Amino acid sequence: MRKNDNLRLNIDEKEGVFTYCCALAVALAIGIVDFVIPEGNTKVIVSYLSTQIPFLIIPLLYCYWKKINYSAVVPLKEKVKPIGILLAIPITIGAFLQNTILSVSLNNLFIVFGITPSVTLPAIDTPLNIFVAIITVIILPAFAEEFLYRGIIDSAYKEHGVMKTCIISAFIFALSHFNPAQLAHQFVLGFLLSITVALSGSIWYAVIIHLLNNVIALFIGDIIPAYNSLMVLNWTNVLILLAMFVGGAIIVIISFIFFNRTCAKDNLKISGNPFKVFSKKSTPAYYEGWENRLSPYTLGFIAFMIVMSILPLFIEKILV
């Protein structure tokens, strides 16, 4: 067993891109199995597993290979405060409420152009299916994706400063779902998750928020059937969505004010107006390294992810 004293404590931008690409390549290779599985719940479950397992294991293997301290790159050891865990609940609910109008609007925009993006979830019609769905859609992604994006990816871009890292990470996180209808929600959620990790220095708050978000996404349609009707834009639904957006934004802002006061590291705490975080003059600690240019590896990687995200839509349009 390797001693931590002999391990590197960081991962650079090139390594972050390489690690993610390896995980994605393995996921795509395993995903070939989907083509031989008949349509149905098993196919959906396998598609989730084929992505999440490589996302969890490949970064671990890379860190072992390159003698990198995984628990330093993925901040696992920082103590978690109970108040932070409690605040994860309103942060998740608020983010989901405020982002619903973004997802619905984007989805309807694609429909105008004859494209119908959708998110396929596993069946939850039996106790066994519910158990399997909880593992594959709620628990596994919360750990695998947080360890990869808010761990490996965020650490790889640290030299660009907190704010730039959060934006880059959120953008990659949104694109990685390969579903344009989810872009807006996943970007905002990814940004909030990265800010949470940056503020606290711990990955666990983000894992909890991600897990709770997945719980809502999986069960809200069955618990609140009226939620599904919001996907159709009319004046009544627009007013409801706007109210959800305003209410959700207020919940998120208030929750982050308390999170900032109770869980943030001293050098990143924001006094007063939380929107100061978007001002380089007011919060210089968030913008150290902002001027650093992105490497060609990152630019090429992002271009590739954009193509991969929109290509299925064009293929669907051609086939239809």
In the chain, domain spans? 4-319
Per-residue pLDDT reduced to its tens digit, 252-286: 999 999 999 999 998 898 887 778 888 888 899 99
Share the mean pLDDT of the chain.
89
**Alpha helices for the chain (secondary structure H):** 13-31, 41-65, 70-73, 82-112, 127-133, 140-145, 154-156, 162-175, 183-200, 204-223, 226-229, 235-263, 296-319
Cα–Cα dist 193/166, whole Å: 8
What average pLDDT score do residues 7-16 get? Answer: 91
Q: Is the pLDDT of residue 116 over 90?
A: no
Give the per-residue pLDDT at 320.
Answer: 52
Mean pLDDT of 236-244: 94
End-to-end C-alpha distance for the chain, whole angstroms: 55
Task: Give me the pLDDT at residue 233, please.
Answer: 83
137 pLDDT band, cuts 50/70/90, is: very high
Using the structure block, give the residue that is written with the tokens 């925009």: 109
**Residue 192: its pLDDT value, please?**
95
Confidence label for 1 from pLDDT (cuts 50, 70 and 90): very low
DSSP secondary-structure letter at 291? T
pLDDT at 50 over 70: yes
